[in-house]
Every structure is written in C-alpha cells, then in structure tokens.
C-alpha cells in the first residue's frame, strides 16, 4: 500500500520501522529541523533521520495544512495516511487525500487522555493501566472513531521514559493489526464516548515542579511521570534541585514540616510529604551532574533543609 507517514519523535519510529518491514511504499512527512541542545544545533527529527537512512523520501513542513503541504501530500498519492506523534493538526483537506483516510496511533486508552502527553499524564495521575488506541484521525484533537485498543499495565515505579519505549513498540503492533484489518475490510469504527473524554496538556517545565504538601504517592508519580523530561524539581535555598528518582517508604512520621529533608551519605536522603517520607534516590544540583543521593551527600549535608 502507498502510505504517507506523518510522525516526528522516537515514539513514531517503531511504527515507521514496522511499515517499512511490511513492504509498504512510504513517504515521511515531518516537522522541520529544530535547534537542539546547548549550542542550538539544528537537528533533524528522528523520523527524518530514519527515513534518510533507509532511502524513504522526506518532506518537512511548518504547517502541512498550508497549500504547499497539501500539494506535496497529493503528489505522493497515498492510499492511506498514518500519524504517530506528528505534532501538527491536520485539515479536512489533508484528511480527504487518501482513499482509506488517516489512522492515528495514540498513547492512551481513548477517550481518556486526549492530547499531547498522554503517557506522562497517565503516570502523573497514578493510573495503573494505559495502552495504545488506533483511531480514524479527524479534525478535532484525538476525537476520531476508535479502531483497535491494546492495553498495557503500568509498573508502579516505571518512569515516563521507560513506559514510552514500551508504548512505542506496542504502537507498532497495534498499527500493524489495524492495517491488516483494513486490508481485509474487517475494521470496525467505534465512536468515542464524549462523556468519558479527558484532555491532557503538553508538558512544560513547570509541570515538573514538585508540591511536597501532596502525598508520597502523588509526589512519586510526579517524579516518574516527568522523567526524563521535563524533569521534576523543587527549590532548595531558592535554587532548583532536580529530583530524578524516588522511592516510597513506610517510615514513621512525627510532626515534621512538609518538605524537610533528612538523611546522610550512609542511609540515603528522605523528604517529608503529606503522609510520610519519600526517599530521594537520584538528584542533580544546579551546576552538577546527575548523582545518586548517597554520593551527593558525601560532599555536603542537607539535613534539616527544606524543599519548597
């Protein structure tokens, strides 16, 4: 089949790889190269790098809805379009181009967690289950008819980065089954239950700000849901302290103020939350590299200081 693949980050790679392995005729449409890193090096999106490596034609548009993008899509004459974390909204004109329409690979159990960062928000909210939903792309934000769903259990200590990898692989599988069903004309379209719909926003830096007046579980979920990006942090002496990894503990509590730290290089570092102590396993001070809490404490003490 001739498939126009619209995707951008790592999440889209397994799906793209699956399509290529399956022998489809592909063209990749993705975002323009972006400045990345400390020196703002112009970097191609992962899907572009993959496409170049495998001799797949690549097209990059700031907005594929504009005439230029529409023309490029039409010129490829796709029978099907597939989107996976593309990062741009499509127009009705875009969607009308392929005869089989457009299938989207989404990282949540729709209609829950529509939007840009469903995997992270599922963890932040403490969900124990998520999954991949393939759907017919429509004009709204992840509102199209559901095609297939594969569920996935979230490990209690899993980080967003770890879950991302598993979800990306599962996405490729679910997409493969979806296309197989399309080819045998056995796809069933199930409209979403709008009353159950929830939306999640794109993650920003400030979503990593910890609130130590929340429960141990809530803080822990925030830490792992924002790892590796944007990363959780709290303020120590007015400076941000990144918290990369934490672990829930059963330590007894007294009347300590929320956010106060205790611990040493031998036992580890603990912070008081609303209902107990959360162990901080990995952290990073402002000019420093990422360190285990015990290594960090070998050089200085945080005993009695308070995270805000």
Partner RNA sequence: CGCGGGGUAGAGCAGUUGGUAGCUCGUCGGGCUCAUAACCCGGAGGUCGUUGGUUCAAGUCCAUCCCCCGCAA
Which residues here bind RNA, judged by CB under 7 A? Answer: 35-40, 205, 231, 240, 242, 264-267, 284-289, 291, 294-296, 298-300
| CB closer to RNA, 96 vs 286 | 286
- Decide if 192 contacts 111 (C-beta within 8 A): yes
| CB closer to RNA, 217 vs 291 | 291
| CB closer to RNA, 60 vs 284 | 284
Q: Tell me the C-alpha distance between 138 and 144, whole Å.
A: 5
Q: Indicate the helix (H) or strand (E) that contains 129.
A: strand 129-136
| CB closer to RNA, 34 vs 151 | 34
- Decide if 265 contacts 297 (C-beta within 8 A): yes
Beta strands in 57-119 (DSSP E): 58-60, 80-84, 102-106, 114-115
- State the nearest-atom distance from the C-beta of 64 to RNA, in Å: 21
- State the nearest-atom distance from the C-beta of 161 to RNA, in Å: 14
| CB closer to RNA, 103 vs 307 | 307
Q: Rounded to 10 degrees, what is the CA torsion of 300, 301, 305, 308?
A: 50
- State the nearest-atom distance from the C-beta of 298 to RNA, in Å: 3
Tokens of 255: 């009347």
- State the nearest-atom distance from the C-beta of 229 to RNA, in Å: 9
- State the nearest-atom distance from the C-beta of 184 to RNA, in Å: 45
């Amino acid at each position: 089949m001739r498939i126009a693949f619209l995707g951008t980050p790592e999440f889209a790679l397994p799906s793209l790889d699956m399509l290529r392995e399956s022998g489809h005729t592909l063209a990749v449409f993705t975002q323009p190269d972006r400045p990345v890193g400390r020196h703002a090096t112009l970097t191609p999106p992962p899907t572009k790098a993959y496409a170049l490596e495998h001799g797949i034609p690549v097209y990059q548009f700031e907005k594929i809805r504009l005439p230029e993008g529409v023309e490029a899509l039409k010129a490829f004459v796709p029978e099907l379009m597939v989107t996976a974390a593309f990062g741009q909204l499509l127009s009705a004109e875009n969607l009308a181009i392929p005869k089989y329409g457009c299938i989207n690979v989404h990282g949540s159990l729709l209609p829950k967690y529509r939007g840009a960062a469903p995997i992270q928000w599922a963890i932040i909210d403490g969900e124990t289950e998520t999954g991949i939903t393939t759907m017919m792309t429509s004009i709204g934000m992840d509102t199209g008819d559901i095609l297939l769903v594969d569920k996935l259990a979230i490990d209690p200590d899993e980080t967003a980065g770890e879950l991302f990898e598993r979800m990306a692989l599962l996405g490729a599988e679910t997409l493969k089954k979806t296309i197989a069903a399309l080819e045998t004309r056995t796809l069933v379209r199930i409209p979403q239950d709008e009353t159950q719909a929830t939306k999640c926003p794109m993650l920003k830096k400030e979503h990593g700000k910890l609130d130590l007046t929340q429960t141990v579980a809530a803080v822990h979920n925030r830490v792992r849901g924002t790892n590796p990006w944007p990363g959780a942090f709290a303020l120590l002496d007015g400076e941000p302290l990144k918290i990369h990894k934490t672990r829930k503990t059963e330590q007894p509590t007294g009347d300590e103020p929320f956010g106060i730290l205790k611990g040493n290089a031998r036992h580890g570092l603990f912070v008081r939350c609303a209902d107990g102590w959360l162990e901080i396993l990995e952290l990073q001070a402002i000019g420093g590299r990422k360190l285990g809490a015990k290594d960090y404490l070998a050089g200085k003490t945080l005993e009695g200081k308070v995270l805000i």
